[in-house]
Amino acid sequence: MNYSSEIQIQSESRTRRTRMTQRMRNLVRETELHPSNFILPLFVSDASANFKKEVSSMPGVYQLGIDNILVECEKALESKLGGVILFGITEDKDESGSSAHHDTGIIQLSLRAIKRRFPELLVATDVCLCEYTSHGHCGIVKENSRGEFEIDNDESVEQLVLEALSHAEAGSDLISPSDMMDRRIGAIREALDEHGFENLPIMSYAAKYASGFYGPFREAAGSSPSFGDRKSHQMDPANSDEAMRVIERDIREGADIIMVKPAMSYLDIIRRAKDEFTVPVAAYQVSGEYSMIKAAAANGWLDEERVMMESLVSIKRAGASIILTYFALEAAKHMAQ
Ligand code: PBG
C-alpha cells in the first residue's frame, strides 16, 4: 500500500467527522425541503359553504365547503406552500360523470372563489371522473363485445377533455389528470391549445399504481368503485420499466410535469424517472401513507413530526422536487420553527 492510499483510507474511515455537530451536519446536508416544494390536497364539498367534516381515516383532514376552503388557502399562502390541489365532492353523479365539467360544478365554483380572493395562490385541479360517476369508476363504463363491463378509453378521454377545459376556463393553474386513460394528455393538450390555454401546464399522474394505499382517500372523496377495481388502467406495483414507458409517452404527448404515485413504496420509480427524464418530477404521498403515520403516532408508536419530516425528505432525496402531501401545512410549520 502506498502512502497516498493509506491517507485516503484513514480519512474515509472517519466519516463521523462531518456528523459530530449540528453546524457541521447543516454544512454537509445534501437535501433541503422548502414549503414551496409542497402541494396541499383539499377536498371541497358542495354540501354547503360552511361544511366541515373530518375524514375519519385521515385525522386532521377535512371535507370542506367553499368558505372553509378559502381559510385553508389563506394558510397555504401564509405558509408559502407551492400551492393546493382541489378534489371535488358531490352527490351530483351520473353514468358519465358530467358534473365534472359543469360551469357551476364544485371545482369550477371553488376555482373562481379562490382566484378572486387569492389570485397569487397556485391552484392545481385533479382531472378524473371517479368523484362524479355514479359507479365510482375513473371513466365511462361500457359493455364490450364479449358482454363484459370495461372502461371505454376514448369516450372517457372526451369527458376528461371537457373537464380539463372547464377547469382552465374557471382559472386552474395546473391541470392534473389522474385517470390513467391512454392518450388523455395529448387530447387535453390539443384542446387547451385550441382554446387559448397554450401556456397552461399539465402535471400528469403518469406512473400511478393500482395501490392499496389509496384506501382512506376513497372515503375522503367518496370515489370507491361500486364494482370491480382500477387494475385495467392503474399500474401493477411490480413494474418499473412500464412506468418509464408511460412517463415517456406522457412527456411526448405534452406533459410538463410528471408524477409518481404513491411515493414511499415507489422511491425507486421516482429516482429512475429523475435520472431518465429532464422534466420536473412530482410525487404524491397518498392518503394511506399519511394515515399510517398518524395512526402509529396516535398510539405513541412513532414520533409524528420526526417521521413526517423523514418521509418527506426521503421523497425529495429520491428525486421529486414537488411533493403532494396532506402534511404540507404541518411540515411548513415545523420548518418555520
Ligand atoms: C383519482 C385519485 C385518487 C387519488 C388521487 N386521485 C384515488 C384513486 O385512484 O383511487 C388518491 C390520493 C390519495 O390516496 O391520497 N381521482
User: What residue ranges do the domains of the chain occupy?
Assistant: 33-336
For residue 236, count CB atoms less than 10 angstroms from its CB and return exposed for 0-12, middle for 13-18, buried for 19 or more: exposed
Which H helix or E strand runs over 4? Answer: helix 3-12
Q: For atom 16 of ligand 1, which residue has the closest CA?
A: 128
Give this prediction's pTM.
0.95
pLDDT in tens, 132-144: 999 999 999 998 8
Q: Residue 60 and residue 297: Cα distance in Å, rounded?
A: 13
Q: Quote the ligand 1 centre to 324 CA distance (angstroms).
A: 12
Task: Flag whether pLDDT at 24 surpasses 60.
Answer: yes
Whether residue 1 is predicted with pLDDT greater than 60 in this model: the reply is no
CB 85 within 8 A of CB 40: yes
The cell 359553504 sits on which residue? Answer: 49
Question: Does position 219 have pLDDT exceeding 90, yes or no?
Answer: no
Tell me if 322 sits within 8 A of 283, measured CB to CB.
yes
pLDDT value at position 127? 97
What confidence tier does 220 reach under pLDDT thresholds 50, 70, 90? confident
Active-site residue, from 52, 93, 208, 274 = 208
pLDDT band for 4, please (50, 70, 90 cuts).
low
- Mean pLDDT, residues 146-175 taken together: 95
In the three-class reduction of DSSP (H, G, I as helix; E, B as strand; rest coil), residue 192 is classed as helix
pLDDT computed for residue 173 by the predictor: 98
Share of the chain above pLDDT 90, in %: 90
**pLDDT tens by residue, 46-69:** 999 999 999 999 999 999 999 999
Which of 93, 261, 294, 316 is an active site residue? 261
- Report the SS3 class of residue 259: strand
pLDDT digits (tens, 9 = 90+) for 274-302: 999 999 999 999 999 999 999 999 999 99
Atom of ligand 1 nearest to the CA of 288: 14
Annotated active-site residue 93? The verdict is no
In the reported structure, the alpha carbon of residue 129 is separated from the centroid of ligand 1 by a whole-number distance in angstroms of 11
Q: Whose CA is nearest to atom 6 of ligand 1?
A: 178
For the chain, give the percent of residues with pLDDT over 70: 97
Q: Mean pLDDT in the chain?
A: 95
Question: Of 167, 180, 214, 233, which is best to mutate to test ligand 1, by the most ligand atoms within 8 angstroms of its C-beta?
Answer: 214
Span from the CA of 310 to the centroid of ligand 1 (angstroms): 23
Residues lining ligand 1, Cβ inside 6 A: 126, 128, 130, 178, 214, 217-218, 230, 286-287
Ligand 1 atom closest to the CA of 234, numbered from 1: 9
**142 has catalytic annotation:** no
pLDDT of residue 160: 96
Counts for the chain of helices (H) and strands (E), in that order: 12, 12
Nearest to 176 by CA among 244, 92, 236, 86: 86
How far, in Å, is the centroid of ligand 1 from the Cα of 294? 19
CATH assignment, 33-336: 3.20.20.70
Three-class secondary structure of residue 5 per DSSP: helix
CA 184 / ligand 1 centre spacing (Å): 17
pLDDT of residue 250: 98
